[in-house]
């Protein structure tokens, strides 16, 4: 080919470049790490401060095993739902139908098992399959037809809550056989096994995002679809997958919730949506600031629940959780946008 003198400067540069590791760290000073550490850990510090505050006010009521049992043992559905929300957010999509999808699974299991005498395991499987169908419809409308995701999933949420009322006859459905509770209520180290399901899902999700090509592709689809497409990423497949995965997680959350409780109140699902979104956004302030990340979301959930439980123990009930979650969501958005601006300015 060419006898090109420029060839000497080959692009396949020396493997022996010793500077690789230094490069990643070189401009980072002590102050940078201090700063990064503070922004990465700020929510954890806030969480500890919150625990300290409640302990100081109500030492005998708050700082007990019972309280922590409530905090860590009661929010599995929220963990599943927040991970579902995260699934969509990571790839730049929105899924507001997750809470209603959870509700669908929640009524389908007892209605099938109790009223139609379907085997409990089969009822669980059918419920999750129905949720996957919901995800598929979302994907077809949003990805296939290119309709706005917020409006579509909001419509889907409303549609599902109506459907849920009809299926349940607008009343609480209960009477689920006790053996269904085995997969949900078995205690491991003093906490129900579902707590560990939530942890496992968050860790698995974190691993996928942090250490796999799929996760990297998901982040690029979320950050810039054109770039992802030009790099050969199958954008459509990933977006569809995100809606399916989101619906699947919401469905699983619904089934473990109802299996644990033995019954379900069809009017409750909407109350799950805001905490899940708040946790997903608040999670962007920790671990990997400025990014949706599962471990941050997990921490955010338990931070939020600690706040609610503490306030309830102080005697505030009912209205306080809405006020707290709403305020937390707004605060979380402010924090995460500030964190992102800081990152950009560096």
Q: Please report whether residue 343 would count as binding other proteins according to CB under 8 A.
A: yes
Residue 138 CB contacts under 8 Å (≥ 6 apart), including other chains: 95, 97, 149, 152, 153, 156, 243, 247
Question: Could you tell me which residues are beta bridge partners of residue 188?
Answer: 191
Q: Least distance (Å) from other proteins to the CB of residue 144?
A: 16
Q: Which is nearer to other proteins, 122 or 334 (CB)?
A: 334
Q: Least distance (Å) from other proteins to the CB of residue 332?
A: 18
**332 vs 48, 92, 277, 282, CA distance in Å?**
17, 18, 10, 4
CA 133 to chain centre: 20
Q: Which is nearer to other proteins, 214 or 327 (CB)?
A: 214
What is the three-class DSSP state of 263? strand
Piece of 8-16, 164-172, 197-205, 330-338 that binds other proteins (CB under 8 A): 8-16
Q: Please report whether residue 346 would count as binding other proteins according to CB under 8 A.
A: yes
In the structure encoding, which two tokens stand for residue 28, read together? 């980072």
Q: Please report whether residue 60 would count as binding other proteins according to CB under 8 A.
A: no
Rounded to a whole number of angstroms, the distance between the first and last alpha carbons of the chain is: 45
Q: Least distance (Å) from other proteins to the CB of residue 154?
A: 26
CA 146 to chain centre: 24
Q: Least distance (Å) from other proteins to the CB of residue 13?
A: 4
Q: Please report whether residue 226 would count as binding other proteins according to CB under 8 A.
A: yes
Q: Please report whether residue 232 would count as binding other proteins according to CB under 8 A.
A: yes
Q: Please report whether residue 227 would count as binding other proteins according to CB under 8 A.
A: yes
Strands 263-264 and 173-174: antiparallel
Piece of 5-13, 118-126, 148-156, 198-206 that binds other proteins (CB under 8 A): 5-13
Task: Give the Cβ contact number of residue 268 at 10 Å.
Answer: 15
CA dist 84 and 79 (Å) reads 9
Question: Could you tell me which residues are beta bridge partners of residue 174?
Answer: 263
Task: Give the Cβ contact number of residue 340 at 10 Å.
Answer: 15
Within 16-45, which residues bind other proteins (CB under 8 A)?
Answer: 17, 19-21, 23-24, 26-28
Q: Which is nearer to other proteins, 56 or 211 (CB)?
A: 211
In the structure encoding, which two tokens stand for residue 308, read together? 């609610």
232: left (phi over 0), alpha (psi -120 to 50) or beta: left
Piece of 4-12, 73-81, 311-319, 326-334 that binds other proteins (CB under 8 A): 4-12
Q: Least distance (Å) from other proteins to the CB of residue 25?
A: 9
Phi, psi of 186 (to 5 degrees): -50, 130
Q: Least distance (Å) from other proteins to the CB of residue 19?
A: 6
Q: Please report whether residue 1 would count as binding other proteins according to CB under 8 A.
A: yes
CA dist 283 and 220 (Å) reads 19
Q: How many residues bind other proteins (CB under 8 A)?
A: 48
Q: Least distance (Å) from other proteins to the CB of residue 345?
A: 7
Q: Least distance (Å) from other proteins to the CB of residue 238?
A: 12
Q: Least distance (Å) from other proteins to the CB of residue 208?
A: 10
Q: Which is nearer to other proteins, 116 or 344 (CB)?
A: 344
Q: Please report whether residue 111 would count as binding other proteins according to CB under 8 A.
A: no
What is the three-class DSSP state of 187? strand
Piece of 112-120, 158-166, 210-218, 271-279 that binds other proteins (CB under 8 A): 210-218
Query: How does DSSP assign 99-136, residue by residue?
Result: HHHHHHHHHHHHIIIIIS---HHHHHHHHHHHHHHHHH
CA dist 97 and 158 (Å) reads 8
Binding residues vs other proteins (CB under 8 A): 1-7, 9-15, 17, 19-21, 23-24, 26-28, 211-214, 216-217, 219-220, 223-224, 226-234, 290, 340, 343-346
């Amino acid at each position: 080919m060419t006898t090109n003198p420029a060839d000497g400067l080959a692009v396949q540069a020396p493997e022996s470049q010793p500077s690789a590791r230094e490069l990643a760290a070189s401009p980072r000073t002590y102050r940078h790490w201090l700063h990064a550490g503070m922004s990465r850990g700020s929510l954890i510090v806030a969480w500890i401060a919150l625990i300290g505050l409640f302990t100081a006010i109500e030492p005998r009521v708050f700082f007990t095993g019972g309280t922590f049992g409530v905090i860590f043992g009661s929010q599995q559905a929220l963990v599943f739902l927040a991970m579902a929300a995260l699934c969509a957010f990571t790839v730049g999509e929105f899924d507001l139908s997750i809470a209603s999808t959870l509700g669908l699974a929640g009524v389908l299991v007892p209605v099938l098992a109790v009223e139609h005498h379907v085997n409990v395991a089969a009822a669980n499987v059918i419920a999750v399959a129905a949720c996957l169908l919901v995800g598929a419809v979302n994907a077809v409308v949003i990805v296939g037809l290119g309709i706005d995701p917020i409006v579509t999933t909001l419509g889907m949420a409303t549609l599902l809550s109506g459907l849920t009322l009809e299926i349940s006859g607008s009343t609480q459905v209960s009477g689920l056989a006790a053996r269904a509770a085995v997969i949900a209520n078995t205690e491991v180290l003093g906490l129900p096994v579902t707590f560990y399901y939530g942890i496992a899902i968050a860790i698995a999700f974190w691993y996928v995002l942090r250490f796999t090509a799929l996760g990297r592709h998901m982040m690029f689809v979320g950050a810039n679809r054109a770039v992802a497409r030009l790099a050969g990423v199958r954008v459509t497949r990933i977006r569809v997958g995100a809606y399916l995965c989101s619906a699947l997680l919401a469905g699983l959350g619904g089934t473990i919730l109802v299996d644990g409780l033995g019954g379900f109140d069809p009017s409750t699902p909407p109350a799950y949506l805001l905490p899940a979104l708040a946790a997903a956004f608040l999670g962007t302030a920790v671990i990997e600031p400025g990014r949706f990340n599962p471990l941050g979301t997990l921490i955010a959930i338990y931070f939020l629940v600690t706040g609610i439980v503490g306030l309830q123990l102080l005697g505030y009930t009912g209205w306080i959780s809405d006020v707290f979650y709403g305020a937390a969501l707004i605060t979380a958005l402010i924090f995460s946008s500030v964190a992102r601006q800081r990152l950009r300015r560096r």
